[in-house]
Amino acid sequence: MKLAILASLFIATVWAGPLQQRKALPISRHFGGRIIAGNAAEEDQFKWQVGIYIYNEDSEFFCGGALIDTKWILTGARCVDGATSFTLRFGSNSLVSGGITREANYSVVHPDYNSLTLENDVGLVRIDDGIEPDAHVEIISLATEELEGDMSVTVSGWGSSGDWGGITSELYYINLTTISNIECRMSWGDAIPDETVCARENRNNGICTGDSGDPLVMEDESGNFIHVGIASWASAGGCDITQPSGYSRTASYVDWIKSTTAFGSFTKMKSIVLICLCVVSAWAGLIAERKPVPVKKHFSGRIVGGDEAAENQFPWQVAVYFDTSDGTFFCGGALVAENWVLTAGHCVYHAEVFTLHLGSNSLVDDDDNRVTVAATYSVPHPDYDPSDLENDIGLIRIDTAYKTNDHIKVIPLASSELGADVDVIVSGWGASGDWDGVENHLRFVGLKTLSNDDCKAVYGEAVITDGMVCAVGPTTEGTCNGDSGGPLVTDDGSGNSVHVGVVSWASASGCETNHPSGYTRTAAYRDWVESVIG
């Protein structure tokens, strides 16, 4: 299934391409979590809710949806784009017990769906044998008139509890308040189209990974619930922040839904005047299109388009396992002093304890060269903010004594800025594609740097800062999930490698594109690094 997790931006009326801050990959095989700060749903509270297991040629994923007819489910376009079949669960708050199961093999993606721009993120799934409403299953009506700001709404789903969680087995919900598109533009810029409705709460309540396609509903004057939005995106700075989340506005798509499903049960809301949003040159903020949560439990993958590293080829490479309150996760890093590892800011932010593997290309195979050390102290850059892409750099102090050798070496940091069209290498255990996980064996890929001006031409003026360097491969080569914090290196002209970048973000249109990837520019932060490590 096609995937996009992105930060949106528009330049004039042209889509300039998405960004995604690289997440560390969860190591835990057990999915758990809930709607952010949400409440457990009561029995029959959301009888229109549908759990959707989605299958493509080689993977299985999960989304939410709403029953809008005896034969049709309304969900997100990304939930059905590329899918081959579906298993649908009705009439139960639990994904593991009770309820009714149906199969589906036919779906419809909105014809104007754009996985890069978030536009028209609406899809339909047709139930093969249909389903009749009963005491636990109910059809929800669709709103036909636009939703205004400052309205009380509710979103429900099995989505994760935070940036590192997966789907939960029990249905949760959260009450939110809509905001006008003008107010939403104050957070995200002018990229919010008329067909989007934004909602938020004062705390970090909202949708998270796994809530794709879930229904946003509100109570009408008669006490009945109507469907007003489809969960589409949230801040790429993380689920656990207070910025608005975005929903495909149901009323904007009623005609298309009606023509596709050939039914006509709709409910009107109070009429309001539409606000016309003009797309102008502006940074639209970190908007993350919510991806369906993978259900498959086994991680595999590699640097996109890369080769296996030879023994001692990257003796500075460090595998970083770290624990947070949500579980254990993985990043890459580089040994920059005998007791310090350089990595990404988002790999140390909220981390509590680290386990570091040095001297081995393998994560799991027996290797006498591997040295495992512990760490409990880390330092994110003081200006790192998880809501944007800047200053994404951090340090981990190694607690355990060890000795450097041919397999474990410190890499020097670049002291001068990196130019364009320079050959660089990125290495890591990251995923091979959009749905894969970390690889057992270290891999690497050769890239070329771009000038920041060229990178801005892709992602926008306000996105690319002097503290970043961009690099691109000849085709689909580059970094993917799990490469967070890994080193970007180049030859210093004397045959020695020097550290020039920290893996930070990549194109949200997927790992397997030829869009540039982004790195924190080492030379720009050398003074800070040296001030910390002494």
Q: What is the pLDDT of residues 64-110, one digit of tens each?
A: 999 999 999 999 998 999 899 999 999 999 988 889 999 999 999 99
Highest mean pLDDT among 4-8, 114-118, 252-256, 429-433: 252-256
Question: Are residue 208 and residue 280 in the same domain, yes or no?
Answer: yes
Highest mean pLDDT among 231-240, 269-278, 438-447: 438-447
DSSP strand pairing (517-521 vs 468-472): antiparallel
pLDDT at 360 over 50: yes
Least confident of 24-38, 123-137, 240-254: 24-38
Question: Are residue 409 and residue 472 in the same domain, yes or no?
Answer: yes
What pLDDT, on a 0 to 100 scale, did the predictor assign at position 27? 31
Predicted confidence band of residue 289 (pLDDT cuts 50, 70, 90): very low
Q: Is residue 2 part of a domain?
A: no
Question: Are residue 278 and residue 317 in the same domain, yes or no?
Answer: no
Q: Is residue 4 part of a domain?
A: no
Question: Are residue 135 and residue 255 in the same domain, yes or no?
Answer: yes
Question: Are residue 232 and residue 190 in the same domain, yes or no?
Answer: yes
Question: Are residue 338 and residue 366 in the same domain, yes or no?
Answer: yes
- The residues that are catalytic are 346, 392, 484
SS3 label, residue 258: helix
Q: Which domain-ending residue is among 251, 272, 294?
A: 294
**Domain CATH number, residue 207:** 2.40.10.10
Q: Which domain-ending residue is among 259, 294, 329?
A: 294
Q: List, for residues 11-51, the tens digit of each pLDDT value.
A: 222 222 334 444 443 332 222 223 444 688 999 999 999 99
User: Mean pLDDT of all residues in the chain?
Assistant: 77
Question: Are residue 139 and residue 254 in the same domain, yes or no?
Answer: yes
Question: Are residue 340 and residue 462 in the same domain, yes or no?
Answer: yes
Question: Are residue 281 and residue 330 in the same domain, yes or no?
Answer: no
Residues 6+ apart with CB under 8 A from 348: 322, 378, 379, 380, 394, 395, 396
What pLDDT, on a 0 to 100 scale, did the predictor assign at position 509? 52
Question: Are residue 331 and residue 370 in the same domain, yes or no?
Answer: yes
What pLDDT, on a 0 to 100 scale, did the predictor assign at position 103? 94
pLDDT at 58 over 60: yes
- How many domains are contained in the chain? 2
* Residues in the chain, overall count: 534
HEC states along 410-429?
Answer: CCCECCCCCCCCCEEEEEEC
By residue range, what is the domain housing residue 440? 307-533
Cα–Cα distance measured from residue 343 to residue 345, given in angstroms and rounded to the nearest whole number: 7
The pTM assigned to this predicted structure is: 0.52
Q: Which domain-ending residue is among 260, 294, 328?
A: 294
Question: Are residue 436 and residue 356 in the same domain, yes or no?
Answer: yes
Question: Are residue 219 and residue 348 in the same domain, yes or no?
Answer: no
